[in-house]
Structure 1
Amino acid sequence: MKNSIKFSAIAVCMAATLPLTGYADPGGANDRVYTLSNNPDQNEVLVFERYGNGHMEPAGSYPTGGVGTGSGLGNQGALALSNNKRYLFAVNAGSNDVSVFRIGRDGLTLVDRVAEKGLTPVSVTVSHDRVYVVNSGDDSIFGYAFNHYTGKLKPLPNSYRKLSADGSSPAQISFDRDAETLVVTEKATNKITSFSLNDDGIPRQRHVIDSAGVTPFGFSFGKRERFFVSEAQAGAVNGATVSAYQLLEDGTAQLIDGAVAVDQTAACWLVTTPNGKLAFTADTPANAISAFAIDRSGHLSLLNSKAAEEIRPTDLAMAPDGTVLYTLSGGDQSIGIYRVNRKSGSLNKLDSFDDLPAGVTGLVVQ
């Protein structure tokens, strides 16, 4: 019975595929928004431009050279940007490889596509000259060396490592801010696994802790090596939670706060603002975006359990300056655009784009 409850929660998240007072002006430089079609015949990066008034328009589609799966991956982080924002990385879950695009003024140029040792990559993370993916097909991580000049990837010897157990159902992988540790959330085992890295970027030790809440899913690093995790809590009605962790020098994670109630069902995706003071979760079956405040010690407090309403939201992304939140919704294949009040955490909808293909995954903003 326990296993059926656990995997039903995972299925919920997988299937759900002008200044005003107190607001920062999202005008000025436009954002460029990327998502991944995850098409099983031809995977593509879909690009959008967001203008100063909040309106967003398509700006092209670019084949990755690989294929997707056509359905939800139960993941966060299918796309990632390089530190200098000149390259975009995309997972091809159906062909077991990773694509690299150079970002130019006129669009994207595919510069590399490299096979990987694991099966079914679902999330990718980048830090300077290192790239890692986590694989749901064989519960593993795998790494590459990245050349900033050519955009090419080269597999890192001895970087293939297993997660805590078979059938772990990983959701996301991310470097910490110092690129000394990798963190992975495991939905099915209710574990958070971290890998300490040596100077060559190779995992030297694996650390595993129990998640504070059931079904840990998406997460985001804030300030001072703290990270914040959404927990679907096995899909229990109004049972979703969020927890805060401190990453220690030895690569282990220590609980700061949690599990803190969201008052919604199945919080699966989470992002933080660049200043580390706010966190937002996408609560798929509740059709809700929830908002949290983060204090200086890393503790969480719920600001609004339904700061915005979206039909089965399936990912989130924050503008680099923290003024605009983007939501990906599997229920109506749309991207929502919200102005963020950085004092109160309230959201004001600016626009939406409603013509995405089914199965899209991943959301990043440049």
Structure 2
Amino acid sequence: MTHPRSSNLAIAALVLFAMALLLFGTLGGDAPASEFVGHVYMQTNETQNRIMHFGREADGRLELIESVPTGGAGSGVFKPISGQESAPNAFEGAGSVILAESNTLLFATNGGDNSVTSFRVGADGKLAMIDRQMTGEPVAGRSGTAKSLAYRPQSRTLYVLHAFGPNHLRSYTVAKDGKLKLRPERNSVDTATKTDRVSTQAVLSPDGRFLLVDILFDARPAANPDGSPNLVVANAPDRDGLVVFPVREDGTLDKPSFTDAGGAGPFYITFLHRSHDTFLNGVAVGDGVLASRIDGKGQVTNGPLVQIDTSFGKPSELCWLQVTSDNSVVLATNFGYGTVSTYRLVEGQLSLLQDPANKAIPGDGTFRAVNKLVSSGPSDSWLTPDDQYFHQIFGNASVLVSYRLDKTSGKLTEIGRNKIPYNSPEGLAGF
């Protein structure tokens, strides 16, 4: 028989336990969002797409806070660009998750059904869905290809890029409450003779005057009779792999110009911090990075392409880039190698710093890159604003890896891993 005093103590303990659950969640769960120094967001690109929201601790490690549905569909493990049943980097793109309006809004593509979702970002970093609207481009086959976003605050215009055309670019007007209204404009990156180009990423110049789009392929990938990929790489030999759209005051796009991207298979553009005209371009088949400048008329001048070591096999598929806040170090992700290389940038001149800067992350052995090497298929990345920590998706390894960056040496030291869905994830943004 239980003693009355013991019963009272047990009841009091249960009350305290219940209060703790209300305040902090279930035992063993995630810490309150307010305890973190920052936040990182990644979309899973699962067939029922969602945003994984990680809290960033002071030591650079990440902890999952919440997983929020977008209301839209991803492509899952299916890769619509190539038709592969299961492969990382589904859309051959970047910028599918972005923050805007002083980190109070988050936008994410849903490539599976060609839609975009907007979220309100709370003071604690938590997400509340606002709206989801279709891009206006029909889905042909198993998946759409909406994949890259760019936001112009001057006109509250959100641009969404599709890998496949003919209407590669559509846009929305973003209301102050975050709701999306599809605009009627349709823009293409095709030329008179290249009518089925595959784009990668859309980026606005910091002054909002130009929208730049990299083109990876001049035609959709196909298969040769022996099963090997038949790839018509852009900017080789025709030097027209970078498309520049002048932007009008109301956000509409003017007639584009087609210019030299500086290397074969241009993939990723990032402007230097505090610069309105100087940007870097990572070229996937050219295996390197170059610095370029765009003038007030939209004309582009390219510096030399600085390649990484490709003795392992070509192409390295060097794609995603991050730049430190002082523009001194560039981090370049090599999709075909499962590694990251770092560059030193001094007065506009690039030189290799660490190649590679990390130990290659192995995948599950099922995925081979274009160079025939088994790869873990790293894709999108994000560097913290203080330049201390670098986060990298390795889709075929099902991990988001966190590193500490040594800016002097350019080396990356792994400090943590977070489990993510297999093959499908893409897009990283944070603050």
Cα deviation for residue 243 of structure 1 reads 1.6
Out of 147, 157, 161, which is 1:130 matched to? Answer: 157
Q: How does 1:153-168 map to 2 (within 5 A)?
A: 153-158=180-185, 160-164=186-190, 165-168=194-197
Larger RCO (CA within 8 A; separation ≥ 6): 1
1:7-18 maps to which residues of 2 (within 5 A)? none
Query: Aligned runs of 1:217-232 on 2, under 5 Å?
Result: 217-223=267-273, 224=275, 225-232=277-284
What is the identity, as a one-letter code, of the residue corresponding to 1:246? R
Percent of aligned pairs with the same amino acid? 26
CA pair 348-162 structure 1, distance change in 2 beyond 3 A: same
Which of 178, 182, 186 in structure 1 is aligned with 2:211? 182
TM-aligned CA deviation for residue 31 of structure 1 = 2.4
Q: Is 1:251–2:258 an aligned residue pair?
A: no
Cα RMSD after superposing both structures: 1.8
**TM-score normalised by L of structure 2:** 0.73
SS at match of 1:161: coil
TM-score (norm 1): 0.85
More strand by share: 1
What's the secondary structure of 2:60's corresponding residue? coil
3-state SS of the aligned residue for 1:276? coil
Contact conserved, 1:197 with 1:205, CA < 8 A, in 2?
no
Specify the code of the residue in structure 1 equivalent to 2:345: I
Give the 3-state SS of the residue equivalent to 1:77 in structure 2. coil
Alignment of 1:3-82 (within 5 A): 30-40=37-47, 42-70=48-76, 71=78, 72-82=90-100
In the TM superposition, structure 1's runs of 4+ consecutive aligned residues that sit over 6 Å from their partners are: none
User: Residues of 1 paired with 2:125 and 2:253: CA distance?
Assistant: 38
Whether 2:331 is the aligned partner of 1:280: answer yes
Is 1:96 the equivalent of 2:114?
yes
Please show how residues 322-341 of structure 1 align to structure 2 within 5 Å. 322-341=387-406
Distance apart, 1:202 and its partner CA: 0.9
Relative distance call for 1:355 and 1:65 in structure 2 (3 A) is closer
2:12 corresponding residue in structure 1: none
Deviation at 1:293, TM superposition (A): 1.4
Greater CA deviation, 349-358 or 187-196?
349-358
| Equivalent runs, 1:132-151 vs 2, <5 Å | 132-139=159-166, 140-147=168-175, 149-151=176-178
For residues 63 and 166 of structure 1, the distance between their equivalents in structure 2, rounded to whole angstroms, comes to 35
* Residue in 1 that maps onto 2:31: none
Cα distance in 1 for residues equivalent to 2:387 and 2:294 = 23
Given that 2:261 and 2:281 are in contact with CA atoms closer than 8 Å, whether structure 1 keeps it comes out as no
Structure 1: runs of 5 or more not aligned: 1-27, 234-238
Q: CA distance change for structure 1 residues 106 and 85 in 2, over 3 Å: closer, same or farther?
A: closer
* Alpha-carbon separation, structure 2, partners of 1:354 and 1:85: 25
1:29 Cα deviation (Å)? Answer: 5.8
List alignment gaps of at least 5 residues for structure 2: 1-34, 79-89, 139-144, 219-233, 235-240, 311-315, 363-375
* Distance in 1 of aligned mates of 2:396 and 2:184: 41
* Structure 2 CA distance for aligned equivalents of residues 280 and 46 of structure 1: 23
Cα distance between partner residues in 1 of 2:324 and 2:151? 19
Q: CA 1:167–1:273 in 2, change beyond 3 Å: closer, same or farther?
A: farther
